[in-house]
Structure 1
Amino acid sequence: MQGLNQQSSSRPVKLKTEDREDPRSSENNKQQNLLCAFFSAAEKDYRISSTHLGIFAALLHCREKQGSANPVRAYACQIMEISKISSPATYHKHIKQLSEYGYLRYVPSFKKNRPSCIYFLD
């Protein structure tokens, strides 16, 4: 509980989503719907942890940066940095679980110079 008190005393981060005009508003809605659908399903799925949530959110971020591409092509180190995961074993375990649980399809490249493909099932 002590950690919560410390966090609440700091200034909250204010996200400015309304200020920017985006011609891809329908694609942004698709991203938001995908995130909402994931959270709704994850809420009922006891297997999903905060690590899974972080990876999924990081993948959505990469997808947006790649122009709503499906599949998302990304290196593990990119997703790990965004989702604040420091262990490659943790990353690989959780992204494989997301694929096994049916939230996405993960196709690893097994080559350091080629990104893996992650398909969103939308």
Structure 2
Amino acid sequence: MNYIKHLNAVFQKFWEDSRLNPAHISLYMALFQVWNLSRFPEIFYLDRQEIMKLGKVGSKATYHRCLKQLEDWNYLDYFPSHNPYKGSQVKMLIFDTTSGTSTAPTTETSSEQDVKQALVPNTNNNKQIENSNKRKLPKNEIEVTEFFKNNEWPSMEGLKFYNHYQSIGWKVGGKIKIVDWQATASNWMLKAEEIETKNELSQNKDNLRTTKHKDYGQPL
């Protein structure tokens, strides 16, 4: 049962039906909510006090009158019971914008079932792929070197990274466990770039302060 199509159709029916008043609509929506929470069974038992409270219906007379009229006007089937231990029952008629009114819950077509069955394994596969991509630690040094290569870094730098963290148990600062080794590797690359840049600046700075041609005959 497609409850979205059902609600669209039933609200269209409300709009066209001049016999209804707010009490009818409120009571119907309270019944629909109970039906929904019960996972749309063909027939379900009523708790009058619960339905009245949910639908904001103030009196028993209004409740019974509206319930009987909703049945007469083909919104539902009402099965009253005079046994307080058994309770009354309701069967909600199903409305659909395409197929009209049906007196029994519709079953899923084979194509819909095939789609659902196809979606379940794909969803599980996607989760497995995500989990593998977000693995905390690499399988081996080859996976690390490949990651560095893909980021245009030499394999030797990847091997340095792997050996360093392998020797300290894959912990940042020797204390905090790594939760995403690829993010840690990316930070390693950034720090390596910073160190390389500082070294270049330091060399340039020294070259500016010294001369290659000195006269050692001059006093210091």
Q: Same fold (TM over 0.5)?
A: yes
| Aligned position for 1:110 | 82
Shift of 1:82: 0.4
| Aligned position for 1:32 | 4
| Aligned position for 1:41 | 13
| Aligned position for 2:51 | 79
Shift of 1:116: 1.3
Shift of 1:31: 2.0
Distance 1:57 1:71 in 2: 16
SS at match of 1:38: helix
SS at match of 2:78: strand
Q: Is the 8 A contact 1:31 1:60 kept in 2?
A: no
Is the radius of gyration larger for structure 1 or structure 2? Answer: 2
Distance 2:16 2:3 in 1: 20
Q: Is the 8 A contact 1:109 1:116 kept in 2?
A: yes
Greater alpha carbon shift after TM alignment, 59-68 vs 31-40: 31-40
Shift of 1:67: 1.6
Distance 1:91 1:56 in 2: 11
Bigger relative CO (Cα 8 Å, ≥ 6 apart): 1
| Aligned position for 1:68 | 40
Distance 1:90 1:79 in 2: 12
Matched, 1:89 2:75: no
Shift of 1:110: 1.8
Q: Deviations over 1:72-116 (max 9, x none)?
A: 211211110100112000000001000000111111112222221
Q: Which amino acid is the alignment partner of residue 83 of structure 2? A: K
Distance 1:75 1:88 in 2: 12
Greater helix share, 1 or 2?
2
Shift of 1:119: 0.7
In structure 2, which of residues 1, 21, 28 is the aligned counterpart of residue 56 of structure 1? 28
Q: Deviations over 1:59-78 (max 9, x none)?
A: 11101111211212112111
Q: Which amino acid is the alignment partner of residue 55 of structure 2? A: S
Distance 2:38 2:67 in 1: 19
| Aligned position for 2:218 | none
| Aligned position for 2:73 | 101
SS at match of 1:61: helix
Query: What is the percent sequence identity of the aligned residues?
Result: 28
Structure 1 residue runs of 4 or more that deviate by more than 3 Å after TM superposition: none
Count the aligned residue pairs.
94
Q: Which ranges of structure 2 fall in alignment gaps of 5 or more residues?
A: 95-220
Q: Is the 8 A contact 1:106 1:118 kept in 2?
A: yes
Q: 1:80 to 1:104 in 2, by over 3 A?
A: same
Distance 2:44 2:5 in 1: 17
SS at match of 2:81: coil
